[in-house]
Structure 1
């Protein structure tokens, strides 16, 4: 009786093991990509067909910049797996710049014409994508350009980073993709009623993930310096509402940036922004009858203007800072309305 009971337990354990192994294998199989092959991207809106025939059923449109994997060739046709591009809005800064395979929806398989397709083995492929992305970005700035030109440019820049990660163009492409998203979100944030809120946390914030990834994966580069400058936007006040603490805080942010990025491409702009806010503080403190703090702000504005003159004498920002210093010396208001 005991032997029979032990045998039954053994059989049950074996069945459970097989079922568990089968479930694990099924789960693993589901995570695998349906086809391995060279990655590619289209430079024009292209129809996806059921078969390699223009008369076959159309499945979907492959948009500019959409990522694909090529499964096979058939003359002037390619069978591809096209991934749906999604906005990775809440990734950790530690997530690779190109995203996680698990975050991509199942790809759609079909046939496309091979015209206007750049493959990761295409000679000078990254230069072609960079040029096409720049074209789309230029169209986005044209009122007569396509409505989705900015998105197309962003996707093409992202494809450069993914398909040609070791290219010298990758840092610039990563920065431009991040900047396009940032500017779109910034414009949307500025259009909301909350944009007038004084405190930054009360406003719609721009997603910082891609900017932070540019800094993380391309440290000590021009692109990282520019990304760090953009991140200041999320810390600025909306409407100052006549409160000294806003320009004080913002001046500190810009000065800190200038100190940490002394030779960056946006350092002169940061110094001017800090100079302007110190000039504003002169007017605010003077209006409140706080001459001591007004004189301190005046002295700091002169120091910053001098920093600009010494470090970036050929820039417009140096001249603009000098003009601010002149105005505060002459008692001409920078902020508010002048009363004679």
Structure 2
């Protein structure tokens, strides 16, 4: 979907300043910042710098003093739901710190229209992340800012989409990195790199019946797909089944037409593969299956580009044109 730059955040960790405790041990207002905020020892820009808080990372507001806010900063680096969930591109040396930040761009659970402010900042960061030479923190900031919308304002109409976008950004980023590994091309899905799935699964469960659950479930299909098919029919046959099961589970989802196209394309591939093996019976069955999927798409999604692609695919199959490999005679 989207490619993002990796998140990289540097923290200054002076040995003379004590680290904060777990955020759950502090009573206070949860908040985040919309711009990079410097944390100072005192409410004075000339005092010692403790660390930085980048957009989306969390602070707990302890008190306010004029244009300054006392906070426990970066408290979220200790928030892990599972042992295999590191903070998104977390700096391994980061620890929560107490100090003062300027009262600028601080959005808390009590901020009026806070959900829209966080969502808008997240959308801007996501757009920045898709640009060439994107800021290094853009993808991570988008991921965290969307996450804060869902956490701080769970009843907001933006909460469901924000939860999905946060999970999707992380998934896409991890998948992009995994594609650089030789094991990603392994034809056995079980041997491919394991990506963090809990956030997407949470969206599927908590947003059940919504388009965001369907979008998250579509992302999760990637873990069931092969890498390199190696010219063997086992993989496209497996993947076609995976996509059809998804389409049956989410018949009206925003990705259903695409899933049916993916299934139809793989049936077309099977026609070519079985034909190369002189397995006429299976080739004919795959061709009929491709026809049936096309007809299903015409009935359900007549205006979709994926349906038009399925029509062109079936025509090529009928004409005896190879779908997989070279189609030159």
Q: TM-score, normalised by structure 1?
A: 0.85
**Structure 1 equivalent of residue 38 of structure 2:** 47
Which residue among 217, 222, 236 is the counterpart of 1:233?
A: 222
SS of the aligned residue for 2:100 comes to: strand
Change (3 A) 1:255 1:201: same
1:294 to 269, 279, 283: 283
1:317 aligned onto 2:296: no
| Structural RMSD (CA) | 2.1
| Structure 1: distance between partners of 2:81 and 2:277 | 44
CA deviations over 1:63-115 (Å, ceiling 9, x no partner): 1111111111100000011134449777299x9xxxxxxxxx97311000001
**In structure 2, C-alpha distance between the alignment counterparts of 1:305 and 1:87, rounded to whole Å:** 50
Aligned equivalents of 1:113 and 1:283: distance in 2? 65
Distance 1:54 1:64, change over 3 A: same
Partners of 1:276 and 1:185 lie apart in 2 by 26
Q: Structure 1 pair 86/243, CA: closer, same or farther in 2 (3 Å)?
A: farther
Q: Which among 293, 297, 311 is matched to residue 308 of structure 1?
A: 297
2:138 corresponds to 1:164:
no
More relative contact order, 1 or 2 (CA 8 Å, 6+ apart): 2
Find the counterpart in structure 2 of residue 57 from structure 1: 48
Q: 1:200 to 1:111 in 2, by over 3 A?
A: same
Q: What are the ranges of 5 or more consecutive residues in structure 2 without an aligned counterpart?
A: 1-20, 86-93
Q: Contact 1:92/1:209 (CA < 8 Å) preserved in 2?
A: no
- When the two structures are aligned, how many residues end up with a matched partner? 302
2:245 to 256, 267, 283: 256
Q: Deviations over 1:108-130 (max 9, x none)?
A: 11000001111211110000000
Per-residue deviation, 1:33: 3.6
Equivalent of residue 74 in structure 2, options 74, 83, 89: 83
1:191 match: 180
Match of 2:62 among 63, 71, 95: 71
* Number of the residue aligned with 1:141: 130
CA distance in 1, matches of 2:132, 2:218: 28
Higher helix share: 1
Contact 2:23 2:76 in 1 (8 A): no
